[in-house]
A and B are shown apart, each in its own frame.
Chain A
């Protein structure tokens, strides 16, 4: 196994060096919103590594029909069964794991409903793997991470920070606007004013931590970090030649308007969230994205399918072929993400997929049985750093996160979630 040399410290040094050369682009900031919309274009940080530097964690709830005849796991020569068939066009970019066991920190099988964060390694850990990535890989990004949900709210989160579940943003328009925003004219005094507020809040939070001592310390530290991140965005150096595609990106050409009560538009909502994720990565606004496609109670329904009731009912309703159809649909959503990354270029003109690692995980193996073994877990992307287009024995599903840490060169900075990297995945 090869260890990449792009450690956090090296990244930070390279970032600071590049930023110091860039200089403050006030005009650029003036064209942006305050809380969001600062287009960094070719961010300094991105220049420091040519290997994997972006990660998308995708949660697909309730496993797949794997008991009895496994309808998710491809054969060793990548013949895809029904629920992975939609990945046919991108399978050469994928690593499918066999014998994946949904496990906690001690290795116990924990597949089933509740505590959704187990999908991202949260069982037995207070932070999920994506939060660890936010802390490390995302530290220098304008947005350390993005949590984009598709009808995910209401039944647990795949992401847990400090023991608390973190709610995803299900509204695609809000998620997009947070990043790319409108074009308020923020003058230099406007920036000073905003900074003065943030300074005031920082002082208040620091004082509050002093008064409360150890109580609430971790939570207030998170709050303070959020304030400081906005402040740093305001002063962050931006290059002058911002990519026009990032200043006013094309998005939502269909004019979709979100309605939280309307659960019939999963396809459109997931498409838009994926589009936002890809844009955010391309524009280096973030390099850590988490996506939840539904939740463990699976109340979403897909009207365009033959089976029109909710996902949960497709699993437990006893109707032959229903679970296969609804789960295959979700693989199709994953395929869309992979293909969009493949067809999008980064700042160097390379396919975004080559510098992005996708981890798709779940909370149980077979949704009908609430089982733990043979869970549908896979990787995609990563370019030449990953031996793609294969089926690999997994063991604990948390080993996948250790594999990702290794591939990112972050093993020394991220807690080992499982038993270590999986042999044969990293090139």
Chain B
């Protein structure tokens, strides 16, 4: 406010500002409508986050990479969580992905491609098949389509590999690890109406059964030492097959390649038991699979003939057909599960592979392991029991612990402490090692509460912590040795995430605390209440407060406490609209922890700390419920007893897993998608289920996490 015009913001002005602030108070949340049948999540194509990307590469080939040093941009962050459901792959991303894939391929070569493909003594064609059959599906998290397999076989052709399997493998690895099918995890699903149409009207799809046998090399007429039987135009390969018994419904799969000559590819004609089956164009110079369904042929000793027949193109002697292998197998019709009749026609059903990826990344932060992938192959992610078995197994892994440690760090902003500005003069012992130890402390507390001893989630506010010796010394906790983090219990002055150094120092200034930042963090992170942002155009009131502060300090003898300073600065409308009840009362109650997270009774000016506090609005901002406390540790006890904190865990983990909040995608961003009432209702049902499961399981977090993975909104999606 200009000093010449202190009344510039009159009653109407203040009223307008207050109305603005109130407009930010969220409306009552949408409740679960149980009569809506199925609930649907949203279709998403999620670009892997940095950690998902790094973990996946490590799991696939053992290559540990710091993605940031290669230039992978930092994660897109939505409402404090890494969230890349809308992140586009810009130039910067693609440049980095390509570079990392190349480095990963070189690493794989240095390890003799262990775990990828052992191509010792193999031809490049055989090596290509091994790559496709033993590795590529892991990178794509699903089997490759025939077209995709052909693209990979083409990477092994001599013009690129120079006949060298290592070069072919490196190229294939580079491609797979920078492919869109690796970089995105799909939650797009397949439309219900399309599935039903295929079941009702489509041709049946067959796949070779278990009783299959493959012949190659000299068995199919190749010269000794050669991979292919080269069949010139008009020539054929024929043999009486005595080692396979036709069942009347069989599949013959031929792997072959063609020589493009005189503007045309060769044509392959298959005859079985002296009857034409089909004639197809072999339009690739790399080995490609071609499958033929054989009906009505039974018994063994049937004559098979593969002919390079003339087609409409001009004659050319060079148009050879090169036969790589022939596989005989009983045909098994691919079962397409009929979607539940109550699903909406415009809904989408995740494939078994998409569901496996969701489970893997949600619960371990990385790509599916063999067990999970095989479950998808065998359609064993269809029932709740099957899915729950997998989730329970995944949650028992070290990966899961680490993954939810990262969840905790994002949820509670634990890594703010790493870079928070601090005065080295005032806090010389607040070293980088201490900062890192504090960030680890939060992760360890939450991991312990989620995974050990079936504890209630509210134990994150209990009187224990995890520290190493340097951090214990910093805190003044005796009896801790070494750099490993160990649990320290029954702490008198601290314990839990609220009183952690990461929270108290992360939400603080250079020399003094920030009761405002701390208070807002308690509301938004621990109670899941949205605090209105500071309104715009409040300059008159701001200037008034700032201008009077110095005079106030002088009137108090030249020094005042932090509490006094913020109290003065935020008094009076419009500031008091938020600060009087929403922020200051409980923010001031944490003043017994200084700017680096140490307990204090006096401030730097030797003024006594007043840590009396009150949390006003315990379930919602405006419910008027009050709870007195003194100091941050008592506030921890208060929070531990509130239903809002338990439910807040569900809401935060929901967002972490689903890539969208239960009520809003992003409450600030202008272009954020808006959730419909139907969508929010479905998410409310999921939250209700999570909370109910936790209630029945001593409020343990794992129960809620498992329940989330079983919900309709995971398996069934809609285009939003």
Chain B residues 136-152 with CB under 8 Å of chain A are: 147-148, 151-152
List the B side residues contacting A164 at CB < 8 Å. 76, 86-88, 671
Report whether B536 and A261 are in contact in the complex, using a CB–CB cutoff of 8 Å: no
List the A side residues contacting B690 at CB < 8 Å. none
A219, B550: Cα distance in complex, Å: 53
Report whether A263 and B88 are in contact in the complex, using a CB–CB cutoff of 8 Å: no
Across the interface, A368 reaches (CB within 8 A) one of B69, B510, B539, B549, namely: B539
Across the interface, B533 reaches (CB within 8 A) one of A114, A171, A192, namely: A114
Query: Which of A268-276, A305-313, A409-417 participates in binding chain B?
Result: A305-313
- Say how far B496's CB is from chain A's closest CB, in angstroms: 24
Residue-wise, chain B 60-92 has the 8 Å CB interface mask toward A (1 for contact) of 000000001111011111000000001111111
A123, B162: Cα distance in complex, Å: 54
Say yes or no for B154: interface residue by CB 8 A criterion: yes
Chain A residues 107-163 with CB under 8 Å of chain B are: 109-115, 117, 122-124, 126, 143-145, 147, 153-154, 160-163
Point out which of A34, A205, A226 has the most chain B C-beta atoms below 10 A from its C-beta. A226
Report whether A196 and B77 are in contact in the complex, using a CB–CB cutoff of 8 Å: no
Chain A residues 182-204 with CB under 8 Å of chain B are: 189, 192-194, 196-197, 200-201, 203-204
Query: Which of A6-14, A208-216, A248-256, A396-404 participates in binding chain B?
Result: A208-216
Of the four ranges (under 10, 10 to 19, 20 to 34, 35 or more), the interface on chain A belongs to: 35 or more
A192, B700: Cα distance in complex, Å: 55
Query: Which of B94-102, B238-246, B339-347, B473-481 participates in binding chain A?
Result: B94-102
Report whether A165 and B76 are in contact in the complex, using a CB–CB cutoff of 8 Å: yes
Report whether B88 and A308 are in contact in the complex, using a CB–CB cutoff of 8 Å: no
List the A side residues contacting B418 at CB < 8 Å. 261
Residue-wise, chain B 582-595 has the 8 Å CB interface mask toward A (1 for contact) of 00000000000000
Say yes or no for B248: interface residue by CB 8 A criterion: no
List the A side residues contacting B180 at CB < 8 Å. 201, 204-205, 208, 220, 223
Report whether B160 and A196 are in contact in the complex, using a CB–CB cutoff of 8 Å: yes
Across the interface, B539 reaches (CB within 8 A) one of A124, A215, A371, namely: A371
A379, B54: Cα distance in complex, Å: 41
Say yes or no for B171: interface residue by CB 8 A criterion: yes
Across the interface, B668 reaches (CB within 8 A) one of A114, A160, A204, A212, namely: A114
Chain A binding surface SS class: loop
Across the interface, A200 reaches (CB within 8 A) one of B69, B175, B542, B569, namely: B175
A322, B188: Cα distance in complex, Å: 51
Report whether A174 and B536 are in contact in the complex, using a CB–CB cutoff of 8 Å: no
- Say how far A63's CB is from chain B's closest CB, in angstroms: 11
- Say how far B372's CB is from chain A's closest CB, in angstroms: 23
Say yes or no for B178: interface residue by CB 8 A criterion: yes
Across the interface, B179 reaches (CB within 8 A) one of A169, A194, A201, namely: A201
Q: How many residues of B contact A (CB 8 A)?
A: 74
Report whether A178 and B71 are in contact in the complex, using a CB–CB cutoff of 8 Å: yes
List the B side residues contacting A165 at CB < 8 Å. 76, 669
A36, B71: Cα distance in complex, Å: 11
Known: A171-B68, A189-B162. A196 touches B154 (CB 8 A): yes
Say yes or no for A45: interface residue by CB 8 A criterion: no
Across the interface, B510 reaches (CB within 8 A) one of A112, A168, A178, A308, namely: A308
A34, B103: Cα distance in complex, Å: 12
A301, B421: Cα distance in complex, Å: 7
Known: A126-B671, A215-B719, A310-B509. A192 touches B159 (CB 8 A): yes
Report whether A222 and B88 are in contact in the complex, using a CB–CB cutoff of 8 Å: yes
A residues near B (Cβ < 8 Å) are 33-36, 67-68, 109-115, 117, 122-124, 126, 143-145, 147, 153-154, 160-171, 174-175, 177-178, 189, 192-194, 196-197, 200-201, 203-205, 207-208, 212, 215-216, 219-220, 222-223, 226-227, 229-230, 260-263, 299, 301, 308-310, 313, 317-318, 320, 364, 366, 368-372
28 A–B pairs (Cβ distance < 8 Å), ordered by A: A34-B102, A35-B95, A35-B102, A36-B99, A113-B534, A115-B670, A161-B90, A165-B76, A165-B669, A166-B73, A174-B70, A178-B96, A189-B160, A194-B98, A204-B148, A230-B95, A308-B421, A308-B423, A308-B510, A309-B509, A309-B511, A317-B509, A320-B550, A366-B539, A368-B539, A369-B543, A371-B538, A372-B537
Extra contacts besides A163-B671, A308-B423, A310-B510 (5): CB < 8 Å:
A124-B670, A166-B90, A197-B155, A263-B419, A369-B543
